């Protein structure tokens, strides 16, 4: 009698667990995005639209490139997405073209204007905006949840990226570590500060950034600031390099005087400035530059 | 401007009252044709219209995207045309424009602050998402107009008001640049706002613009006698016994409300407000009661035309509609200038 009562309790307990698990299954999957909005699906989304290059790259890094049905006009990696429909930029997306593709989810930047409009048309929108190394990992996890890639596989991908960044740092000889670097993102000139994604990579490589964290991630600098800081190495994209040596006083900068300039072609610039899964490649590009040019 | 029509003989007046009516009918018909065209033009082309009955997504594209943006283009254009007619009458300056009182730069500053505030703190983000960029633009536009009015110490002095508008425009423009500089990643979003677009207009915005537009139109029509009086000169208007101060303030309020609403929903769309009243006056010479109505219709039709072109010219891609209105409107004004000189 006592025994059967205990058994009964056990059965009720098990049944309760079963119900709980069942309801969790029925609720499908859910993801909370950078706006704090929780988005739910009954089944993993199959048709994906991305409106930010780093998010496109993240989806592909997770091996789910085949689920992409449309991307923004700036997404250009990997090559397999070349044939996908272009849906405008993240800022001026073509609402009609997006809706016509019937996506199960639209991944885009938080600053995009179209978020509310797409939601009012009944689309599921996940706004994610990676800005730092930690964000890249977080966004990788979130996108993995959206596309249904399990946490272990995602963790492995992240470990590989992280290990590759460390390897790039270890490949540098000791004397390079003292190099003082200026990374220019825009001719205005905007520099990449220590607080930026690019600055974090420079820190990981062990070199010094002439733009301190206190100035913010991408401060607009007085050209005089750069002359005074006198960097040993300058990193810049080739379309921003034009006329750099002709700026007043810049000939005196050590990097310019001794030709310690790394001018990256556009494809490499894309890798360097996008906070996405190619950050290990970005670290390797910077390490190669430092090996060749650092004093 | 048209003092002659005001005091024209009866026969003349009768002949003249028929022409604005015909123009109004023509504009409504033209608008209807453009509206039908607007349902068929877009990145997926006419296909969406054919498949509408069978395919819910095609139906959604036609009724939830193309229809509201077409209606929204008309409403925004009408608001700008109305604001243009009121501004030109109020300041007795045919080159006055709805963005004159600093409203455009105020709206830009509002948007810049909202964009820079996004992501700064969770609290600010939550609050801003609720208010939206549109709310920020509207608040900015209204505050800028109030600032202009404060600097001009009222609306009595037209020249002072214009100068205050210029000062506010320049200062707020500089502040916008400053905000954008401190948050450079908002730069592309600002650019998109400056260009203006009807691509994100939904039925909710249409309802808002439509109802505010109607209110503004009724107010402006009710106040049109003031504009007629001002056309004859300030002293004449005063001698007609019109309480100029409060009536002017009311007209400025109409101007700010119409401009702010349009800018908040569509961004900065140039030249529609400036060109619409000119186009109307090129066809008919009439009183302001007609002019505000006709300029609204003309503005609406102009922006619908520009929107349809913006969607169709590069399909499946699309141009920001502000670029088109700037090119078309600029060309028209140049032509107008040369014709006057000639």
Copy the structure tokens of residue A196: 């930026």
Predicted local confidence at residue A10, as pLDDT = 55
**Per-residue pLDDT at B4 exceeds 50:** no
Q: How far is A190 from chain B (nearest CA, A)?
A: 9
**Cβ separation of B57 and A102 shorter than 8 Å?**
yes
Give A34's contacts in chain B (Cβ within 8 Å): 119
Residues A96, A223, single domain; the answer is: no
Copy the structure tokens of residue B72: 């929204």
Q: In degrees to the nearest 10, what's the CA dihedral of B201, B205, B206, B212?
A: -140
Residues A120, A36, single domain; the answer is: yes
Copy the structure tokens of residue A154: 């995602």
Copy the structure tokens of residue B59: 């139906």
Torsions phi, psi for A31 (to 5 deg):
-135, 140
**Percent of chain A whose predicted confidence (pLDDT) is above 90:** 71
Cβ contact B248:B156 at 8 Å = yes
**Per-residue pLDDT at B14 exceeds 50:** no
Residues A187, A285, single domain; the answer is: yes
**Percent of chain B whose predicted confidence (pLDDT) is above 70:** 88
Torsions phi, psi for A276 (to 5 deg):
-145, -165
Q: How far is B192 from chain A (nearest CA, A)?
A: 7
Helix pair B103-117, B158-182: axis angle to 10 deg: 20
CA gap B172, A272 in Å, rounded: 35
**Per-residue pLDDT at B27 exceeds 70:** yes
Q: How far is A117 from chain B (nearest CA, A)?
A: 6
Cβ contact A219:A193 at 8 Å = yes
Confidence of residue B104 (pLDDT cuts 50, 70, 90): confident
**Cβ separation of A97 and B44 shorter than 8 Å?**
yes
Using a CB–CB cutoff of 8 Å, tell me whether B121 touches chain A: no
**Cβ separation of B188 and A89 shorter than 8 Å?**
yes
Helix pair B203-222, B244-266: axis angle to 10 deg: 160
Examine residue A240 and state whether it is found in any structural domain, yes or no: yes
Give B192's contacts in chain A (Cβ within 8 Å): 91-92, 113
3-state helix, strand, coil in chain B (%, to 5): 80, 0, 20
Residues A40, A108, single domain; the answer is: yes
Q: How far is B215 from chain A (nearest CA, A)?
A: 26
Cβ contact B257:B220 at 8 Å = no
**Cβ separation of B119 and A111 shorter than 8 Å?**
yes
Q: In degrees to the nearest 10, what's the CA dihedral of B123, B125, B126, B132?
A: 140
| Summary mean pLDDT of chain B | 83
pLDDT tens digits, one per residue of B242-284:
788 888 888 888 888 898 888 888 888 988 998 899 899 888 8
Examine residue A73 and state whether it is found in any structural domain, yes or no: yes
- Topology of domain B3-341, per CATH? ABC transporter involved in vitamin B12 uptake, BtuC (1.10.3470)
CA gap A89, B188 in Å, rounded: 10
Give A218's contacts in chain B (Cβ within 8 Å): 184-185
Top-ranked range on mean pLDDT: pick from A99-108, B112-121, B195-204, B231-240: A99-108
**Per-residue pLDDT at A212 exceeds 50:** yes
CATH number at residue A243: 3.40.50.1980
Predicted local confidence at residue B125, as pLDDT = 52
Confidence of residue A38 (pLDDT cuts 50, 70, 90): very high
CA gap A272, A237 in Å, rounded: 9
Confidence of residue B300 (pLDDT cuts 50, 70, 90): very high
Give B57's contacts in chain A (Cβ within 8 Å): 99-100, 102
Nearest Cα neighbor of B38 from B326, B258, B309, B336 is B309
Cβ contact B234:B244 at 8 Å = yes
Residues A110, A229, single domain; the answer is: no
On the 0-12 / 13-18 / 19+ scale of CB atoms within 10 A, B18 is: exposed
Copy the structure tokens of residue A184: 């220019």
Q: Which domain holds residue A178?
A: 158-293
CB pairs under 8 A between A and B: 83
Question: For chain A, what is the total number of helices (H) and then of strands (E)?
Answer: 12, 11
**Cβ separation of B188 and A220 shorter than 8 Å?**
no
ipTM value for the complex:
0.76
Confidence of residue B16 (pLDDT cuts 50, 70, 90): low
Examine residue A112 and state whether it is found in any structural domain, yes or no: yes
**Cβ separation of A92 and B192 shorter than 8 Å?**
yes
Examine residue A70 and state whether it is found in any structural domain, yes or no: yes
Give A110's contacts in chain B (Cβ within 8 Å): 118-119
pLDDT tens digits, one per residue of A222-275:
999 999 999 999 999 998 898 898 999 999 999 999 999 999 999 999 999 999
pLDDT tens digits, one per residue of A256-271:
999 999 999 999 999 9
For residue B38, the surrounding DSSP H or E stretch is helix B10-40
pLDDT tens digits, one per residue of A123-166:
999 999 899 999 999 999 999 999 999 999 999 999 999 999 99
pLDDT tens digits, one per residue of B144-156:
988 988 898 876 7
Q: How far is B188 from chain A (nearest CA, A)?
A: 7
Cis peptide before A189 (omega within 30 of 0): yes
- Give all strands (DSSP E) within A67-179, no chain letters: 68-71, 105-108, 125-127
Q: Which has the minimum average pLDDT: A251-255, A263-267, B15-19, B308-312?
A: B15-19
Residues A169, A274, single domain; the answer is: yes
Examine residue A10 and state whether it is found in any structural domain, yes or no: no
Residues A172, A279, single domain; the answer is: yes
pLDDT tens digits, one per residue of A66-108:
999 999 999 998 999 999 999 988 777 889 999 999 999 999 9
Question: Per the structure, how many domains does chain A have?
Answer: 2
Give the count of beta carbons closer than 10 Å to the beta carbon of residue B185: 17
Answer with the one of A130, A149, A182 that is the final residue of a domain. Answer: A130
| Summary mean pLDDT of chain A | 89
In chain A, the residue whose alpha carbon lies closest to the alpha carbon of B189 is A91
Strand, helix or coil for residue B232: coil
**Cβ separation of B66 and A96 shorter than 8 Å?**
yes
Confidence of residue B314 (pLDDT cuts 50, 70, 90): confident
Residues A82, A177, single domain; the answer is: no
For residue B226, the surrounding DSSP H or E stretch is helix B224-231
Answer with the one of A86, A111, A130 that is the final residue of a domain. Answer: A130
Using a CB–CB cutoff of 8 Å, tell me whether B130 touches chain A: no
Residues A109, A165, single domain; the answer is: no
């Amino acid at each position: 009698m006592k025994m059967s009562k205990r058994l009964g309790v056990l059965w009720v307990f098990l049944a309760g667990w079963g119900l709980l698990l069942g309801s969790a299954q029925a609720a499908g999957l859910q993801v909370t995005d950078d706006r704090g909005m929780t988005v739910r699906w009954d089944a993993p989304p199959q048709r994906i639209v991305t409106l930010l290059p780093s998010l496109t790259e993240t989806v592909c890094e997770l091996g789910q490139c085949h689920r992409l049905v449309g991307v923004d006009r700036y997404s250009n990696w990997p090559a397999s997405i070349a044939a996908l429909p272009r849906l405008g930029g993240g800022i001026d997306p073509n609402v009609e073209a997006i809706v016509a593709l019937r996506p199960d989810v639209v991944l885009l930047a938080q600053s995009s204007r179209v978020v509310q409009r797409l939601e009012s048309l009944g689309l599921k929108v996940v706004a994610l905006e990676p800005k730092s190394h930690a964000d890249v990992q977080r966004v990788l996890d979130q996108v993995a949840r959206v596309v249904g890639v399990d946490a272990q596989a995602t963790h492995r991908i992240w470990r590989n990226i992280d290990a590759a960044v460390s390897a790039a740092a270890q490949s540098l000889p000791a004397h390079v570590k003292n190099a003082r670097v200026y990374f220019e993102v825009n001719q205005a000139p905007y520099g990449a500060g220590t607080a930026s994604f690019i600055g974090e990579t420079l820190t990981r490589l062990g070199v010094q950034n002439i733009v301190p964290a206190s100035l913010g991630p991408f401060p607009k600098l007085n050209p005089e600031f750069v002359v005074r800081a006198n960097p040993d190495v300058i990193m810049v994209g080739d379309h921003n390099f034009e006329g750099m040596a002709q700026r007043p006083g810049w000939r005196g900068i050590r990097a310019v005087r001794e030709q310690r300039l790394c001018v990256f072609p556009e494809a490499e610039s894309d890798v360097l400035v996008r906070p996405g899964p190619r950050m290990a490649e970005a670290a390797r590009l910077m390490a190669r530059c430092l090996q060749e040019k650092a004093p | 401007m048209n003092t002659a029509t005001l005091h024209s003989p009866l026969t003349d007046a009768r002949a003249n009252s028929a022409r604005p009516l015909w123009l109004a009918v023509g504009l409504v018909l033209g608008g209807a044709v453009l509206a039908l065209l607007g349902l068929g033009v877009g990145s997926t082309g006419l296909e969406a219209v054919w498949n509408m009955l069978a395919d819910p997504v095609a139906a959604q594209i036609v009724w939830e995207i193309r229809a509201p943006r077409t209606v929204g283009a008309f409403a925004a254009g009408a608001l700008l045309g109305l604001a243009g007619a009121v501004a030109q009458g109020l300041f007795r300056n045919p080159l006055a424009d709805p963005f004159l009182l600093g409203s455009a730069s105020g709206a830009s500053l509002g948007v810049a602050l909202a964009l820079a505030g996004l992501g700064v703190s969770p609290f600010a983000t939550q609050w801003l998402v609720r208010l939206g960029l549109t709310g920020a633009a509207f608040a900015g536009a209204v505050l800028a107009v109030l600032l202009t009015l404060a600097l001009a110490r009222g609306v009595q002095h037209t020249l002072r008001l214009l100068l205050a508008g210029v000062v506010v425009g320049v200062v707020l423009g500089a502040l916008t640049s400053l905000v954008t500089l401190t948050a450079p990643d908002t730069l592309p979003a600002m650019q998109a706002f400056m260009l203006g677009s009807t691509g994100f207009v939904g039925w909710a915005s249409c309802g808002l613009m439509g109802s505010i537009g109607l209110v503004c139109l009724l107010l402006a029509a009710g106040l049109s006698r003031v504009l007629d009086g001002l056309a004859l000169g300030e002293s004449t208007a005063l001698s007609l016994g019109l309480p100029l101060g409060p009536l002017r303030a009311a007209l400025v309020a109409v101007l700010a409300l119409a401009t702010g609403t349009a800018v908040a929903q569509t961004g900065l769309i140039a030249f529609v407000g400036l060109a619409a009243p000119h186009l109307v006056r090129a066809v008919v010479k009439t009183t302001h009661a007609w002019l505000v109505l006709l300029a609204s219709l003309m503005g609406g039709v102009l922006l619908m035309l520009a929107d349809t072109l913006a969607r169709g010219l590069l399909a499946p891609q699309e141009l920001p509609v502000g670029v088109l209105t700037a090119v078309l409107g600029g060309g028209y004004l140049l032509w107008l200038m040369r014709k006057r000189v000639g």
